[in-house]
A and B are shown apart, each in its own frame.
Chain A
Amino acid sequence: MTSPVTKIFRDFWQERGRTGLVILAIALGIAAFASVMSSYAILTRELDRGYLATNPASAVFFLDSIDDELIQTVLSDRSVSNAEPRRVVSGQIKSGPIQWRNLVLFVVKDYGNVQVARLEHERGAWPPATGEILIERDAFQVAQASIGDLVTVKTSNGNEQRLVISGSVHDVGQAQARMENVVYGYITLETLAQLGEQPYLDQLNILVAENRFDENHIREVAARIQTLIQARGHEIRRVDIPKPGKHPHSEIMGVLLLSMSTFGLFVLALSGILVVNLLTATMSSQVRQIGIMKAVGASHRQLLGIYLSQAMLLGAAATIIALPAGLLGSRLLCRYMAVFLNFDIKSFAVPLWVYALVALVGIITPLVAAMYPVWRGIRVPVRVAISDYNLSPNSFGSAVIDRLLARLGGNYRPFLISLRNSFRRRARLALTLLTLSAGGVFFMSALNVRASMVNTLDQMFATRKFDLSVIFASPQPIDKVERAIRDTSGVNAFEGWFVTEGSLTNDSHSSNASDPRTTTPAGGLHGGDSRGENRFTIIALPSDSQLQKLQISEGRSLATNDTDAIVINTTLAQRNPQLKVGNTVTIRMGPAEVNWKVVGIARESFSPAIAYIPLSFIQQRHPGETNSLRLALAKSDSDSIDAVKAELETNLEKEGLRARASTSKAESRFGFDQHMVMIYIFLIVMSAIIAGVGGLGLMTTMSVNVLERRREIGVLRAIGATSRTIAMIIVGEGLVIGLLSWTIAALAAWPISKAVGDSLVGLLFRGGMDFVFEFRGLLIWLAVSFLLSSAATLLPAWRASRLTIRESLAYE
Chain B
Amino acid sequence: MALKDINLQIRDGEFVGLIGKSGSGKSTLLNMIGGIDRPSSGAVEVGNTSVQDLKENKLAHWRGRTVGFVFQFFQLLPTLTAAENVMLPMDFCKTFPVRDRRQRAVSLLERVGVGQQADKLPATLSGGEQQRVAIARALANEPAVVLADEPTGNLDSVTAQAVFDLFREMATAGTTVVIATHEADITRVIDRTLEISDGALV
Contacts and interface: CB of A to CB of B under 8 A. Distances in A.
A386 to B, nearest CB: 16
A721 to B, nearest CB: 5
B31 to A, nearest CB: 6
A67 to B, nearest CB: 91
B92 A805 contact: no
Interface string A389-425: 1111011111000110110000111101100110010
A804 B64 CA distance: 15
A806 B37 contact: yes
Interface residues of A, number: 39
A806 B84 contact: no
Interface string B84-119: 100111011100001001000000000000000001
B76 interface: yes
A394 B121 CA distance: 13
Interface string B49-78: 000000011001101110011010111111
Given A390-B73, A420-B80, A719-B69, A412 B91 contact: yes
A717 B60 contact: yes
Nearest to B94: A720
Given A712-B75, A721-B64, 13 more contacts: A390-B73, A391-B74, A397-B121, A405-B79, A406-B119, A413-B88, A416-B79, A416-B80, A417-B79, A719-B64, A720-B60, A805-B36, A806-B36
B119 A389 contact: no
Interface in A699-734: 711-712, 715-725
Interface of B: 31, 34, 36-37, 56-57, 60-61, 63-65, 68-69, 71, 73-81, 84, 87-89, 91-93, 98, 101, 119-124, 137, 140-141
B121 A391 contact: no
Most A CB contacts (10 A, CB to CB) among B31, B77, B91, B137 go to B77
20 contacts: A389-B73, A391-B77, A394-B78, A396-B121, A397-B121, A398-B123, A402-B121, A411-B91, A416-B84, A417-B77, A424-B78, A712-B75, A712-B78, A715-B77, A716-B88, A718-B69, A720-B141, A722-B92, A804-B36, A806-B36
Contacts of B63: 717-720
Contact of B57 (A403, A412, A711, A723): A723
A581 interface: no
Nearest to A402: B121
B92 A391 contact: no
B56 A718 contact: no
Given A396-B79, A416-B84, A417-B79, A719 B92 contact: yes
A716 B141 CA distance: 14
B60 A712 contact: no
Contacts, number: 112
B77 to A, nearest CB: 6
Which 4 pairs from chain A and chain B are nearest by CB?
A720-B64, A397-B121, A420-B79, A397-B123
Most A CB contacts (10 A, CB to CB) among B65, B122, B123, B137 go to B123
A413 B98 CA distance: 11
B56 to A, nearest CB: 7
Contact of B124 (A392, A397, A806): A397
B30 to A, nearest CB: 11
Contact of B31 (A406, A411, A720, A806): A806
Contacts of A413: 80, 84, 87-88, 91
A809 interface: yes
A403 B89 contact: no
Most B CB contacts (10 A, CB to CB) among A392, A397, A424 go to A397
Given A722-B92, A806-B36, A421 B79 contact: yes
Contacts of A723: 56-57, 60
Given A413-B91, A720-B65, A805-B36, A406 B81 contact: yes
